[in-house]
């Protein structure tokens, strides 16, 4: 357990991450709405503008967003733009909390770009696919030529991005946009920060290696999935041992080849871990929660024809993260499909680190990952 993580975990001991995991451990998911209320009550920031950035709240096709606009520069006609989708397990946080407000403000300043931060609805108010629909509606609204003109955005220089569960939504929205024949404007780039991309295999090397890692242990990630799908916690143990995708579960067979980590991961990630594949399992899990195989929820399972349509991609992964292999496998599948991909891996970093750049949780890991992410956007957008 790296010393930097040990220090980070001590500093995070009173954070909303810790409270959230306690809630999940006690199986009190129906209190998530109270937890998020407390988080947002004490941490939500009003849209206070400054000389450097104009911050406004708006509604895009029924979805709340926060827009960060740098001042116009002399002789400048149009700006770049990033649609950003925050993380929090589809259940927590907000575009208006200090952590995400700070990240988006810095992005807008550093890139001289208009940043649209999506305030999608959360579990338990709504479950899948409503979070996906909110993110998609807000993004499609923004991509309309008249809306882009209102914000002085160059339609050829737009990225979609997100972290963790927000990375999941960003990837799923990007896939959906790529298949929409009626769209005239699509994202130039996608940038995914330690994204959660699959619920097929909870025994990838990173899930095995980091199953008890603070910030995001395996059981918490599985509970997030169960909450997102409005499922039953009694299924958690079966999911942990991959009973839902056993060899006798016919619905899962066609997807198995798309998530074969023994061929998709580098040896430095695979180490000596072995696949966990059950011979007999529980097909009723997929019947009860078909979303486990729905590409709108699990974009890593998308077919190659969809992956070929994806834009230039950046994926950031951290070694001390159960989701490391989700990002790495998606990068490899996109690469195989002919997409230009940058996989930016950090050996000493942990899940969620990029938003922790302000006191009292100002970690060097957060600044390091954030700077690398913004540098890639600046060079490619």
Which of the following is catalytic: 29, 81, 164, 206?
Answer: 164
User: Is position 141 annotated as part of the catalytic site?
Assistant: no
User: Is position 321 annotated as part of the catalytic site?
Assistant: yes
Six-digit token string for 140: 């499609």
Which of the following is catalytic: 134, 201, 227, 321?
Answer: 321
For 255-294, how does the pLDDT look when each residue is reduced to its tens digit (9 = 90+)?
999 999 999 999 999 999 999 999 999 999 999 999 999 9
For 306-360, how does the pLDDT look when each residue is reduced to its tens digit (9 = 90+)?
999 999 999 999 999 999 999 999 999 999 999 999 999 999 999 999 988 877 7
Residues of the chain with pLDDT under 70: 1-51
Q: What's residue 37's pLDDT?
A: 52
Q: What's residue 72's pLDDT?
A: 86
pTM for the model: 0.90
State the sign of the Cα–Cα–Cα–Cα dihedral 87, 91, 94, 95. Answer: positive
Domains of the chain: 40-198+293-379 (3.40.50.1820)
State the sign of the Cα–Cα–Cα–Cα dihedral 86, 89, 94, 99. Answer: negative
247: nearest Cα among 234, 257, 237, 233: 257
Burial 184-196 (b: 16+ CB within 10 A, else e): ebbbbbbbbbbbb
User: Is position 347 annotated as part of the catalytic site?
Assistant: no
Q: How far apart are CA 162 and CA 326, in angstroms?
A: 15
State the sign of the Cα–Cα–Cα–Cα dihedral 348, 354, 357, 361. Answer: negative
Q: What's residue 16's pLDDT?
A: 47
267 CB contacts (<8 Å, ≥6 apart)? none
């Amino acid at each position: 357990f790296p010393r930097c993580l040990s220090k980070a975990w001590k500093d995070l001991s009173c954070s909303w991450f810790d409270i959230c995991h306690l809630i999940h451990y006690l199986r009190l998911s129906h209190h998530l709405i109270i937890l998020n209320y407390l988080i947002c009550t004490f941490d939500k920031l009003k849209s206070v503008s400054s000389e450097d950035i104009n911050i406004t709240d708006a509604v895009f096709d029924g979805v709340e967003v926060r827009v960060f606009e740098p001042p116009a520069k002399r002789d400048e006609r149009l700006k770049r733009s990033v649609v950003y989708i925050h993380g929090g397990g589809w259940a927590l946080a907000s575009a208006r909390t200090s952590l995400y407000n700070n990240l988006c403000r810095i992005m807008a300043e550093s890139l001289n770009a208009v940043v649209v931060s999506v305030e999608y609805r959360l579990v338990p108010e709504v479950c899948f696919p409503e979070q996906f629909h909110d993110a998609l509606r807000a993004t499609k609204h923004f991509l309309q030529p008249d809306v882009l003109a209102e914000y002085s955005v160059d339609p050829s220089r737009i990225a979609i991005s997100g972290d963790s569960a927000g990375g999941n939504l960003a990837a799923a929205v990007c896939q959906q946009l790529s298949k929409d024949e009626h769209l005239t404007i699509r994202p130039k780039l996608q940038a995914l920060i330690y994204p959660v991309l699959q619920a097929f295999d909870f025994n990838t090397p990173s899930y095995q290696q980091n199953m008890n890692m603070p910030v995001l242990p395996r059981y918490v990630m599985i509970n997030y999935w169960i909450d997102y799908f409005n499922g039953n916690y009694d299924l958690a143990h079966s999911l942990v041992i991959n009973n839902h995708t056993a060899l006798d579960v016919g619905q899962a067979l066609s997807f198995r080849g798309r998530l074969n980590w023994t061929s998709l991961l580098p040896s430095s990630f695979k180490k000596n871990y072995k696949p966990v594949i059950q011979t007999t399992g529980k097909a009723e899990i997929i019947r009860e929660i078909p979303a486990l195989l729905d590409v709108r929820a699990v974009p890593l399972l998308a077919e190659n024809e969809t992956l070929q349509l994806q834009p230039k991609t950046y994926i950031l992964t951290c070694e001390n993260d159960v989701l490391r292999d989700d990002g790495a496998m998606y990068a490899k599948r996109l690469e195989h499909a002919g997409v230009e991909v940058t996989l930016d891996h950090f050996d000493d970093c942990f899940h969620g680190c990029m938003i922790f750049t302000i006191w009292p949780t100002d970690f060097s890991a957060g600044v390091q990952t954030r700077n690398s992410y913004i540098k890639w956007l600046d060079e490619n957008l």
